[in-house]
Each structure stands twice: as C-alpha cells, then as structure tokens.
Copies of this chain bind each other. A is one copy, B any other.
Amino acid sequence: MSQHPHVIGWAHTRFGKSDHPDVESLMAEVSAAAVEDAGLTAADIDAISVGVYGTDTTQQRFEAALVGTGTPELGRVRAVRSENACATGSAALYAAFDMVEAGRARAVLVVGAEKMTRAPAATVNDVLLGAAYLPTEQQYGSFPAVFAWLANQYAQRYSNPRDALARIAAKNHRNGVDNPYAHMQRDLGYEFCATPSERNPVVADPLLRTDCSMVSDGAAAVVVTTADVARTARRAVAVRGRAQANDPMPLASRSDPLSFDAAANAFRSALAEAGVGLDDLDLIETHDCFTVAELLQYEAFGLAAPGKGTLLPVEGGTDRDGKLPVNVSGGLKAKGHPIGATGVSQHAIAAMQLVGEASGMQLPRAERAVVFNMGGAAVANYATVLEAGR
C-alpha cells in the first residue's frame, strides 16, 4: 500500500457487567471520547465503522445507526456495521482500513461494542454456539465444549496440556491486575487455575472456569486515518501490515484441526507485509477466548513447534518479562470478551503500549506489536502489525 492507515485516538470502557443498558449507550461512552482523543471533531469524521456481533437479544437492531443516536453530533456521518463472529471488532477495523486505503475516507471512527449480561445465560450460550457450524458442531452444546474437544485432541496426539493451560490462565490473570479496563483485576495464582474446585469448576472437561473468557459488556473505539492526517496528530500508530485468512467453518473439514492453518497464514502474511520477523516483535495481543486457543496460537505463530507450545508458559517466554510478552493486557481471559468490542480493544491497547500510554500495563520496550483476533474456532483470522510513529 502506498499509504498505511494510522490509529490516532482511542477510548475504552471498563469491561464487565455494565450499568449501560444497551450497545447504544456503551458506544456513546467511547465515540466522542475517541474522536476527542484523536484531536479531531465530529466534523472531521467521514465514516463510522461499527462492530457488534449481536449477543443482546433485544428488538433494537441497525447498530450502525445507533452511534449517531447515542452521540448526535455524529448522526449525519455515514455508518456501516461489520460482523465476523468473535473477530467482529477487527472486521470493523479492517473495513475502516480499506476505506482509508481506497481514498474513500480521511478519518473513520471505529466502534466495537457488545451488551452480553442482560440476556439469560442460556441465551448467550446459544448465540455464541451460533458461531460454530451447527449441522456438525451443535452436538458440543456450547462453545467452550468445542475448545475442550481441541484440548482433548491435543492431549491424545502430543501431551496433556492441562498444566500449560493453568499457567496461561495464571499469566493472563496476573497481567490483568494492571489493566484498568479489565473485567477481573485479580491475580488468581497458578494453584487456583490448575485445580478444579467449587470456585473454579469444570466448564467443559478439561477446561475449568479459569480457562474460559467471561461474559462481559464493553465498548472500545479508535480513530483510523491517513498518514497525512496522522502527521498532525499528537501521536500515531501505523498499521504496517495486516491480513485476514479463513479456514472452513466445520472442524471436521480441516486437514488438522490443531494446526490453525488460517491463523498461521494471517500471522505470516501480516508480518511479511510489514517486512518483519518474530524477533522484531515486542508484544502480541492475542485471542485467548480459551486458554487452549492461546496455546494453539503459540504454535500457529511459530513461537513453538507443533506439540511444543506447552513448554512456553512453563519457561515463561510469554510472560510480561519474557522474551515475547503475550497478552500483557490480561487478554480476553482477564479483560473480558464483549464480542464486538474485543478486536477494537486489542488494537487500542496495543496502540497505548506503542505510544507509552498503557499505565500499569506499560512495557519498558514496546515498538512493534501484533494483534491477533479470530472468529469461530480459527475460522476468520485477523493479524495486524502495529508500530509507533507515522
């Protein structure tokens, strides 16, 4: 691309059970705030790109138009909604990147949001399972059970990942303590995460509650713009490389369900576009909807050979002070996973790190980050290489 898109402003609600009654008011909390953070006004915004999956089962739809009702000064800005299951936030971001690269917009407000805690738990379960291919995967009964199946496959072929999963959970919960936006800011400790208990029950064997991201409300917003506009911003983060890659939806259609081929493909392609390698990265924010997802992503990204990803959390290589910190924010695990907000949040938090505004999360060195966000069980995979600067 002749012009990399840039991220120049952001805003983020606290994730968790929110007082906001709906996505409209969640989006309102971050929309004007992100525009202001970018040093722009509503008049500078050419388009709004909204990511909402639709977990809230109220009658109100047409979420793209709800940014302009919650924040009336944006009511005449063209808006559109993107959806790609749990990668919905990144889908909205990539739509904005495309608009900017196509010369169709100079500044796009991207808003990801989800209101999940109003619907009954069984409804939320059904809606999330709707991101799996029901003719072959409804048998699992829940989305956690799909990932539990992957963990069991891993145990059969390689080694029991149970200990590694606990270490990933403990790492992410420890990291989440320093994230002011996190649903849970509590260091649960390795023992708690490793041991089934009344307070940490089995959700879908072998996954415990501490292996599963939470049901959260939340919203995040960023402003995406051209290099020209970014030059006048007080700080900017460049999108140096990006890629989306897909795998067939049914796990049974994959040659190897454990290899997350399209995740690997998206990750490699994004790094290639940026012209960088693994050694050039300072952090990864990745899609740990379940701890076993983070484990399989280690292998897809080439951080470990197939079947060897379990060694990484034991050795601490992805700890905050490790060789390549993964999910310094606490990840979906501790931060929460309000579906449509997640991808936008990941990019916003990586941007904060890269410009030195990540408060307690701040790494001493953070010049280049990769964000990875996936929809379904590694069906729609988005990888973005972000760098501070213009």
Query: Which of B53, B129, B253 is A59 in contact with, Cβ under 8 Å?
Result: B129
The residue in chain B whose Cβ has the minimal distance to the Cβ of A127 is B61
Take A54-B54, A85-B65 as given contacts and tell me if A102 and B98 are in contact as well, using a CB distance cutoff of 8 Å. yes
Whether B246 and A380, one on each chain, are in contact in the complex, defined by CB atoms closer than 8 angstroms, is no
A72 at the interface (CB under 8 A from B): yes
Complex CA–CA separation, A126 to B57 (angstroms):
12
Task: Given A78-B380, A102-B101, A262-B76, check contact A85 B62 (CB 8 Å).
Answer: yes
Task: Considering the complex, give the chain B residue whose CB is closest to the CB of A132.
Answer: B62
Residues of B with C-beta under 8 A to A277: none
- Which residue of B has the minimal Cβ distance to A86? B62
Q: Is the CB of A380 within 8 A of B64?
A: yes
Q: Compute how far the CA of A76 lies from the CA of B132 in the bound complex, rounded to whole angstroms.
A: 16
With an 8 A cutoff between CB atoms, is A338 at the interface? no
In this assembly, does A94 line the interface, its C-beta being within 8 Å of a C-beta of chain B? Answer: yes
CA distance A83 to B68 in the complex (A): 16
Q: Does A75 contact B (CB under 8 A)?
A: yes
Tell me, in angstroms, the Cα distance from A328 to B178 when the chains sit together.
62
- A158 touches B (CB below 8 Å): no
User: Closest CB-CB distance, A246 to chain B, in whole Å?
Assistant: 5
A275 interface residue (CB < 8 Å to B): no
Flag whether A32 is at the interface (Cβ < 8 A). no
Residue A353 is within 8 A (CB to CB) of chain B in the complex: no
Residue positions of A touching B, CB distance < 8 A: 1, 47, 53-54, 59-66, 68-69, 72, 75-85, 91, 94-95, 97-99, 101-104, 126-127, 129-134, 138, 244-250, 253, 262, 375-376, 379-380
Q: Can you name 19 A-B pairs with beta carbons within 8 Å? A: A53-B61, A54-B61, A59-B126, A59-B129, A59-B134, A60-B133, A62-B131, A69-B248, A69-B250, A72-B248, A75-B249, A76-B245, A78-B245, A81-B82, A81-B83, A82-B83, A83-B83, A99-B102, A101-B103
Top 3 nearest A-B pairs (CB, nearest first) are A61-B130, A101-B102, A75-B248
